Amino acid sequence: MKIDAKTGLLSPCKHLPSPNKDARPIEQTLDLIVIHSISLPPGKYGGDAIERFFSNELNPDEHPYYQEIHQMKVSSHILIRRDGQITQFVPFHERAWHAGVSSYQGRERCNDFSIGIELEGSDTDSFNNEQYIQLANLIQTLIKTYHSLSQDAITGHSDIAPGRKTDPGTGFDWKKLDTLLSSE
């Protein structure tokens, strides 16, 4: 894996630009990685609904849940599918809209200083080995590219938005991720 420092794009991966992004505050340092989980519709895997959601193209008539969320303007930097396939929606140097109302160690607005990584999954299902391997490789690549990031500043969406968010959930194995990161 490699990140182009000029464009903020990862390779190899699929690139699908999301309109749901903007510039980070001037002189803002990237120093947090936020792990999320998502499946659309909830609990269903595969298909292109997540990509359409982050592209503002989700059809509200396709599923009752989509009627609730289709007007939301959200994105993430990266999606890691169940099979390990990676899609990038927002360049790393830009602000993706993944964290919402959030706080990390007393700092508000985590979107300003974080990278959001979505894993295709749910709060209760286990994640696949391919996802952990890709996630660990991505984190190592991010840390090598953006020296302000470290393994000590990786957190879940539930930790920066407690009471509002529960992902990546009980199915996410933090020890497995730590082991993979330690072995790199």
The contacts of residue 50 (CB under 8 Å, 6+ apart) are 38, 39, 40, 79, 118, 120
State the alpha helices, DSSP H only, in the chain. 49-54, 64-69, 129-145, 157-160, 174-183
With residue 34 as reference, give the H or E element that holds it: strand 32-38
The contacts of residue 38 (CB under 8 Å, 6+ apart) are 50, 76, 79, 118, 119, 120, 121, 167
The boundaries of the domain holding residue 52 are 2-183
Q: How many domains does the chain have?
A: 1
Helix (H/G/I), strand (E/B), else coil: 65: helix
Q: Global pTM?
A: 0.97
Whether 27 sits among the annotated catalytic residues: the reply is: no
The contacts of residue 161 (CB under 8 Å, 6+ apart) are 99, 100, 101, 102, 103
Instruction: Kindly calculate the radius of gyration of the chain based on its CA atoms and give it in whole angstroms.
Output: 15
* CATH number, residue 104: 3.40.80.10
Give pLDDT tens digits for 36-85: 999 999 999 999 999 999 999 999 999 999 999 999 999 999 999 999 99
Confidence band (pLDDT; 50, 70, 90) for 27? confident
Which of 118, 120, 130, 184 is the catalytic position? 118
pLDDT at position 184, please?
Answer: 61
Give the Cα separation of 144 and 61 in Å (integer): 43
C-beta contacts of 149-156 below 8 A and 24+ residues apart? 149/30, 149/31, 149/32, 149/33, 149/115, 150/31, 151/178, 151/181, 153/31, 153/32, 153/33, 154/32, 154/33, 154/35, 155/32, 155/33, 155/34, 155/35, 155/104, 156/34, 156/35, 156/36
Give pLDDT tens digits for 100-115: 999 999 999 999 999 9
Confidence band (pLDDT; 50, 70, 90) for 158? very high
Helix (H/G/I), strand (E/B), else coil: 157: helix
